[in-house]
Structure 1
Amino acid sequence: MDSLEVNNFEGALPLLSLNHVSLLCRSVWDSMRFYEQVLGFAPIKRPSSFKFNGAWLYNYGIGIHLIENPSIDDFDTIVEPRPINPKDNHISFQCTDVGLVLRRLEDMGMKYVTALVEDEGNKVEQVFFHDPDGYMVELCNCENIPIIPLSSCSFKPRLSSFIKSAASKCGFMENAMMESLSMEMLNISF
C-alpha cells in the first residue's frame, strides 16, 4: 500500500498514516495480555495526566490505546460473544505467514474463521478472531493483491453486462463508482 499515495485531491488533509486505534475494554490487564501475547504489541508509556485506567501498546508502526470501562456491556445490548463474521467491523494486520498464525491460534485454543480472497490469480488468506472484548481482528497476506487506482480501471457501463465485452481489471463496485463519477462529470460539463 505504501507505493500508492492518494493525496492529490483538492482540499485533502495533510495526513501521514494511521497512528493508533482506541478500544474500550472491560479489563486493561486481559486486553494487554491478548495484544502482547497474540499479536506481539509491547506496552509503552502513556501520559500521566490521564485520570482513567488504560494502557498504550505499540508495534509495527501502529499504536493500540486501551481504555478501561468495566460497564462496557451497558453500551452493547449483546452480552454474549457474537459469531466471528468477516463482514463485521474489524482491525486488519498484514502478516507474512498465515500458517504460523493458524498454528499459534490453535495452540492457544482460540476460535477463528478463515477466508480466501482470489482476484485474477492472486490469493489472499485471511484469519479472523476476537479479542477479549469481542473486537474482531484480521490477519492476512493482503499484499498479494495489487493496489490498482480506480482511475486505471477500464470502465464498463452496466449495459455492457448484456453485451459481450473485454474483461475489466476491476469488479462490480469499482465499475459502479466509475459510472457514477462519469455521470457527475457529464452533468458538470453541460
Structure 2
Amino acid sequence: MTHGKRAFQGRGIMHVSLVVSDLRRSRAFYESILGLIPIKRPADLSFPGVWYFLGPQELHLIEARDTNINPLQHVAIEVTDVRAAKAALQAHKIQCVSELKAGAGGFHSIYCYDPDGNRLELCQPIGFGGVASRSDR
C-alpha cells in the first residue's frame, strides 16, 4: 500500500443511491417514518427520484423497474436513539431482521428493509476503543 503523494484521495462518502420501484411508497417510508427531508435535485436529471441530506452526506432514491440487489449490501443511517428507532419501525409494522446489537463495533444497531428490499442499518454510535468518534473524523 502506497502512502506517498497521490493525484487524488477519497475524503468520505458523498452520497448513496438506492433503486426503488415505487417512489411514492419509498418517500412515505423515508420521510414519514425515518423523518428525512427532501432536498432540491438538479433539474436536468432524466429519471424520477428524490434526494435527502443525511448529515454531510446525501441519500438518493432512484425509481426504476429492476431493483435486484445483493442481500449483504446495506446503508447505515446514524440515529440518535436506536431503541426509539426500533419502536417506530415496529409501530409501523416494519419487521426488524436482527435483534438489537448492543455495542458491536462501537454502535448499537438494528437492521430492517425499506419497501423495496434495500437493507438498512440504523445505528447509534456509543464509542469504542480504536473506533474514531464523529468529532475525530
Q: Distance in 2 between matches of 1:77 and 1:118?
A: 28
Query: Identity over the aligned pairs, expressed in percent?
Result: 27
Which runs of 5 or more residues in structure 2 are unaligned? 133-137
- Aligned partner of 2:32 among 4, 28, 37: 37
The answer as to 2:117 corresponding to 1:134 is: yes
Q: Which has the higher contact order (CA 8 A, sep 6+)?
A: 2
CA drift at 1:144: 2.5
Q: Distance in 2 between matches of 1:106 and 1:128?
A: 12
Which residue matches 1:125?
A: 108
- Aligned partner of 1:114 among 99, 103, 106: 99
Q: Which has the higher helix share?
A: 1
Instruction: Give the secondary-structure state (helix, strand or coil) at the position aligned to 1:31.
Output: helix
Mapping for residues 33-72 of structure 1, pairs under 5 Å: 33-69=28-64, 71-72=65-66
Q: Distance in 1 between matches of 2:103 and 2:33?
A: 27
CA drift at 1:111: 0.1
Q: CA RMSD in A?
A: 2.8
Letter aligned with residue 137 of structure 1? L
The answer as to 2:88 corresponding to 1:93 is: no
Instruction: Give the secondary-structure state (helix, strand or coil) at the position aligned to 1:47.
Output: coil
| Runs of 4+ that moved beyond 4 A | none
Structure with the greater alpha carbon radius of gyration: 1
Which runs of 5 or more residues in structure 1 are unaligned? 1-7, 83-87, 150-190
Q: Distance in 2 between matches of 1:137 and 1:28?
A: 17
* Higher alpha-carbon deviation: 32-41 or 126-135: 32-41
CA drift at 1:103: 1.4
> Structure 1 residues 56, 96: closer, same or farther in 2, change over 3 A?
closer
Q: Distance in 1 between matches of 2:22 and 2:107?
A: 33
Number of aligned residue pairs: give it. Answer: 129
Q: Distance in 2 between matches of 1:21 and 1:65?
A: 6
Instruction: Give the secondary-structure state (helix, strand or coil) at the position aligned to 1:24.
Output: strand
The answer as to 2:7 corresponding to 1:9 is: no
CA drift at 1:101: 1.1
- Normalised by the length of structure 2, the TM-score is 0.77
CA drift at 1:47: 0.9
> Structure 1 residues 33, 27: closer, same or farther in 2, change over 3 A?
same
Which residue matches 2:86?
A: 102
> Structure 1 residues 62, 77: closer, same or farther in 2, change over 3 A?
closer
Q: Distance in 2 between matches of 1:131 and 1:40?
A: 14
Letter aligned with residue 66 of structure 1? L
Q: Deviations over 1:114-158 (max 9, x none)?
A: 242557xx8642210001110111112234323359xxxxxxxxx
